[in-house]
């Protein structure tokens, strides 16, 4: 199919504007609707481009149809009316993987899933003249279907990504409390390092290396999806050719020239080894200086750098009292670096008090389900 699909790029709450900006940079017009959905349209190539290049999104989905439903019968009829035969050749699996209902009459999610599935089966049985049921190819292509109901408006979607886009394919090991790759990329895009990526970039609590690796990938213009596959590649109406062409183009677009100054430190030597392994797989090992070091020992004569850190929080890894001491010491080490900008992500609402300085700006984000704040301290302009 080369038709014009309605598409949506999903992301963590609060990240929509970054997804929108990324799409724009890819040349894809888009808008954020009242429901915080990043909407765009396009063909197979648009879908492939978005999957391959979006660093901040979770998934790219096709909107198969939208309609009102206040009863299960209306849901059934609405789903039945859609052109499933265009997306689901005989033999394809089509699990209804997700049903979500907000402020709507229909709210029993398992029933919504079951009714949707039933309606699609009915449609395919009729279309393909298979009154006894539709066959299934063992280990064949899978087309994941999702239903979302908001104020009685039903949206039926097909997920084109498969595994979430945060899975880039470079993470061999992740340690105890990794940040998702797409969240790390989002935070880097919020920093002023983006303006000039030759400046020093330091993550003093780098864990498995997510921030330094994502920073290097952004600076080198390495497509985040270059090392993985997407579920839509398995579909005959989509095909691998579109992706293979875009992958080849992406390889040519890698910026080999830029000089980088990216470092990752961690107190835990095992984490530093994991970070190095991950960086190797990501193709940015030579771009990052990884070292086992306590953040308390960080000194530098460099100016104008950027620190991005996701230190231990109270809920995870460290005890309350230890966190307090760590943040205080962090303040003592970072504050004298007046030309540096610092970005610290933590769920600790008392961070500024412990660190000893009020942030220039704060931004509410979600690290998985945990509400966190990005405390931003802007460096002095020279
Ligand atoms: N963003 C990382 C996770 C960071 S978890 C990722 O994506 O993997 C916090 C990290 O801080 C842990 O790896 C822990 O070993 C490290 N850490 C704790 N205390 C530290 C200290 N005093 N100096 C440096 N690193 C420290």
- The pLDDT assigned to 315 comes to 62
Question: Is residue 207 lining ligand 1, measured as CB closer than 6 Å?
Answer: yes
Q: Is the CB of 210 under 6 A from ligand 1?
A: yes
Distance CA 155, CA 233 (A): 23
Residue 362 CB neighbours (<10 A): 13
- How far does residue 324's CA lie from ligand 1's centre (Å)? 15
Least confident range from 103-107, 133-137, 210-214, 215-219: namely 133-137
Evaluate if residue 324 carries a pLDDT over 60: yes
Distances (CA, A) of 14 to 98, 196, 365: 22, 24, 6
Interval between CA 311 and ligand 1 midpoint (Å): 5
For residue 355, name the pLDDT band (cuts at 50, 70, 90): very high
Distance CA 108, CA 100 (A): 9
Cβ count near 218 (within 10 Å): 18
Distance separating alpha carbons of residues 275 and 290, to the nearest angstrom: 8
Write down the pLDDT at residue 320. 79
* pLDDT surpassing 80 at residue 335: yes
Write the residue with the smallest CA distance to atom 16 of ligand 1.
Answer: 205
Q: Torsion-angle region of residue 83: left (phi > 0), alpha (psi -120 to 50) or beta?
A: beta
How far is ligand 1, taken at its centre, from the CA of residue 260, in Å?
A: 22
What is the structure's pLDDT at 346? 95
The angle subtended at Cα 333 by Cα 327 and Cα 339, nearest 5°, is 115
Q: What percent of the chain has pLDDT over 70?
A: 98
What is the distance between the alpha carbons of residues 203 and 263, in angstroms, rounded to a whole number? 6
pLDDT of 317 above 80: no
As a whole number, mean pLDDT of residues 172-200 equals 93
104 confidence band (pLDDT: 50, 70, 90):
very high
C-beta of 278 in contact with ligand 1 (< 6 A)? no
The H helix count followed by the E strand count for the chain is 11, 14
292 closest CA partner among 206, 360, 179, 202: 206
Question: What is the pLDDT of the chain when averaged over all its residues?
Answer: 95
């Amino acid at each position: 199919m080369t038709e014009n699909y309605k598409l949506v790029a999903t992301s963590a709450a609060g990240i929509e504007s970054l997804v929108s900006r990324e799409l724009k940079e890819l040349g894809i017009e888009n808008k954020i609707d009242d429901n915080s959905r990043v909407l765009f349209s396009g063909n197979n190539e648009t879908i492939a481009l978005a999957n391959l290049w979006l660093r901040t999104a979770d998934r790219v989905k096709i909107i198969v149809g939208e309609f009102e439903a206040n009863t299960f019968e209306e849901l059934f009829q609405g789903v039945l009316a859609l052109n499933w035969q265009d997306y689901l050749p005989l033999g394809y699996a089509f699990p209804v993987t997700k049903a979500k209902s907000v402020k709507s009459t229909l709210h029993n999610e398992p029933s919504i899933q079951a009714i949707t599935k039933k309606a699609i089966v009915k449609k395919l049985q009729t279309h393909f003249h298979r009154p006894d049921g539709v066959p299934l190819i063992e280990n064949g292509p899978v087309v994941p279907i999702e239903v979302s109901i908001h104020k009685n408006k039903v949206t039926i979607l097909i997920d084109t990504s498969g595994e979430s886009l945060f899975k880039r394919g470079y993470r061999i090991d992740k340690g105890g409390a990794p940040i998702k790759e797409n969240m790390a990329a989002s935070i880097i895009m919020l920093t002023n390092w983006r303006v000039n990526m030759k400046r020093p970039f330091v993550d003093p609590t780098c864990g498995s290396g997510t921030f330094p690796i994502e920073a290097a990938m952004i600076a080198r213009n390495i497509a985040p999806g270059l090392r993985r596959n997407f579920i839509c590649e398995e579909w005959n109406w989509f095909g691998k050719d579109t992706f293979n062409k875009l992958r080849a183009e992406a390889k040519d677009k890698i910026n080999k020239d830029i000089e980088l100054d990216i470092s990752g430190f961690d107190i835990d030597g095992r984490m530093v080894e994991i970070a190095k392994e991950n960086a190797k797989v990501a193709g940015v090992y030579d771009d990052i200086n990884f070292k086992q070091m306590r953040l308390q020992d960080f000194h530098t004569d460099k100016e104008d750098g950027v620190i991005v850190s996701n230190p231990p929080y109270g809920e995870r890894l460290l005890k309350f009292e230890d966190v307090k001491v760590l943040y205080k010491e962090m303040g003592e080490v970072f504050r004298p670096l007046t030309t540096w900008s610092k970005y610290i992500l933590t769920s600790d609402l008392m961070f500024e008090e412990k660190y000893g300085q009020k942030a220039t700006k704060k931004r509410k984000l979600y690290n998985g389900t945990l509400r966190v704040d990005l405390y931003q301290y802007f460096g002095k302009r020279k």
